[in-house]
Amino acid sequence: MADRLDLAVIESRWWERSNDSVRGVFEMLAGNLMDNPFGYHYEMFNNAASIQEIIPRLARQPDIHHIYVGAHGDDKAILGAGKQRIRWTVIQGLLEKVNARQLYGLFFACCGGQVERLIDESGVTWIAGYRVCRLDTLLGDGPIFLERLLSEQRAKRN
């Protein structure tokens, strides 16, 4: 049995003057599922260059099949550190090159997500996210992603 989730969590800095992070949620998840709160991959991106390096590298890793991307965003871009804009077309270009047999799922926790276009142009099995930034949207979509991830992890164990 693997001691890690097949998950990578990448996020941008949420605020200039604080260190908020989604990391704690995934540490709890990995701790409960894998008895290892650090049983998943985590890193941060700051700008287009860093995300252009990170996503293809993670997609080539044999033990990573799901990526959670967390950042502020709008209908044109996701935001890196210091509000550096990473256009959705850049993300789309990255996903067109991803091996679909390797990367199964992506979740964009970014407001204004353009996931419909990303799904059409990529070889990734499933892509989810949200367009409207409201607490009820976040609370609704997050558990859907986690349930999908959990069901795939359980299937691997059996």
Cβ burial of 117 (10 Å; 0-12, 13-18, 19+) is middle
What is the per-residue pLDDT across 53-83, written as a single tens digit (0 to 9) for each?
999 999 999 999 999 999 988 889 999 988 8
How many independent structural domains does the chain possess? 2
Q: Please indicate, yes or no, if residue 7 is contained in any of the structural domains.
A: no
Same domain, 67 and 21: no
- Structural domain for 28, as ranges: 14-43
Digit-coded pLDDT (tens) for 10-35:
999 888 888 788 898 889 888 888 88
- The predicted model scores a pTM of 0.84
Same domain, yes or no: 34 and 110: no
**Cβ contacts of 71-75, under 8 Å, gap ≥ 24:** 71/11, 71/12, 71/14, 71/45, 71/109, 71/110, 72/12, 72/14, 72/110, 72/111, 73/108, 73/110, 73/111, 73/112, 73/113, 74/111, 74/112, 75/112, 75/114, 75/131
% of the chain residues with pLDDT over 90: 32
- 54 plus 117 within the same structural domain: yes
